[in-house]
Structure formats: C-alpha cells, structure tokens
C-alpha cells in the first residue's frame, strides 16, 4: 500500500509539475524558430499579413513566425554578430515559405483582373510578365528552408536603411547590380551582400533582399508544412 501511494504521488508530480508543451515550438526536424535562435533579429513577416504584393495574408502563414533550417539560422546568427561592428542588424521579411504559399503567388500572378497593388509593387512590369521574368516561380528556394529575405536596420533607431526600393518591388530597380541609385543606397546594398556572402549565402540577381544558403541541407526538398 505504501509503495502504491508513492507511485500515485510520483505520477501526480509528473503531470502537474512538468512544463506544459508549447505547441508553437514544435517544428519539423531540421528547422528552428529564427527569433528563438537569434533573439536580436527583427522579424517582420509580410506574408502573414496583408502588407504584401498580393494584398492579403498568404496561404500557409498562420503566424508571424520566422522559420528556417538550422544551418541557415546559424549562418544568420553569424551575420548578425558581424553587423554589430557596424551598429547594424537584420530585419527578416521572409524565410521558410510553404509550397502552398508559392502556389498562392502563382494563382495571383495568373489572374489578370487583380492589379490593385501594381502601383506599389510592380509599376514597371506588366503582371503577365511576372512569371516569365522569374519574379514569381512555381517553386521557390524558400520552400527548401534555406532562403531568406532581409534588409539592414540601424540598431539604435531600428529604422531600415534606404536600399532604393521597398521589399518585394518587382522591376529593374531592385536588381542587385542596378547602378541607378544614390551613393548611399548602393553602399547599403553592397554592405548587406558582402556580409551575407561572407557567411555562406549567395544573392539573387533580381532581388537585392533575397539570399540563399550555398550549402543548403535540403537542396531537392520543397516543404509544405504551415507556419504556426
């Protein structure tokens, strides 16, 4: 009887004293929460809101949570540590992107009647050309978990540095090699690219904000788990 009572007390201790499971922290193996891994990052996940080129929350983004492969997160940690020397840091607009979100982009781009965001996001490119010109694609490196969309911020003011265009501006002015910019805008883009490449990322020629980990862990897998 004594042993039975001890067993009951031990069982109750496990049930009531164990920390509650945080469902939000449960991620697919190999992926981490960027904010938890690099607490000083600013996460501004545009596709989890209507503040994006589609004009509404994107499929698969159920929470404003930056997620990436662990290797990508480690590289981001190294970038962030390097930027401190300049009094700067990273703001993350997007990281892992479910395939369902990519499909949402393609459906939107294929609808010629919805041009409500053109003035803000693609004033110099016809909507029908967004897919042929590779601004939107049926598959994205983001879905492999090792691509990020980022910009630089001043650590003191938290203000974004002027990069010449807004995030997700589709057109020549956003191309990485565009020289039709002010001296400070070119310098800011060059600094971002230099530090990202120093820590294992490669840039995308048509988007100054887009970087992919060169040695990504899932080079052929396009994931579709939602961001929760």
Which residues are known to be catalytic? 207
- Residues 210, 142 contacting (CB under 8 angstroms): no
Alpha carbons within 13 angstroms on the beta-carbon side of residue 210 total 18
The span from the CA of 61 to the CA of 20, in Å, is: 24
- Closest by CA to 141, choosing from 204, 193, 196, 73, is 204
> What are the Cα distances from residue 206, in Å, to 73, 134, 165, 173?
23, 8, 12, 9
């Amino acid at each position: 009887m004594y042993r039975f009572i001890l067993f009951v007390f031990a069982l109750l201790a496990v049930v009531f004293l164990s920390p509650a499971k945080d469902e939000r922290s449960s991620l697919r193996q190999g992926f981490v929460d960027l904010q938890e891994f690099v607490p000083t990052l600013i996460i501004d996940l545009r596709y989890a809101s209507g503040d994006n080129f589609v004009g509404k929350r994107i499929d698969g983004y159920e929470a404003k949570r930056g997620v990436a492969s662990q290797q990508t997160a480690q590289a981001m940690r190294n970038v962030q540590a390097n930027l401190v020397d300049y009094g700067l840091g990273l703001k993350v607009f997007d990281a892992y992107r479910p395939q369902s979100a990519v499909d949402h982009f393609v459906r939107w781009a294929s609808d010629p009647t919805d041009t409500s965001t053109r003035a803000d996001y693609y004033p110099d490119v016809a909507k029908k050309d967004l897919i042929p010109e590779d601004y939107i694609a049926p598959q994205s490196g983001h879905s492999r978990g090792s691509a990020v969309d980022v910009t630089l911020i001043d650590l003191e003011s938290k203000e974004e540095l002027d990069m010449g265009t807004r995030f997700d501006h589709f057109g020549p002015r956003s191309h990485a090699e565009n020289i039709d910019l002010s001296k400070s805008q070119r310098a800011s883009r060059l600094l971002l690219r230099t530090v990202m490449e120093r820590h294992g990322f490669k840039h995308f020629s048509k988007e100054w904000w887009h970087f992919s980990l060169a040695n990504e862990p899932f080079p052929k897998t396009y994931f579709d788990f939602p961001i929760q």
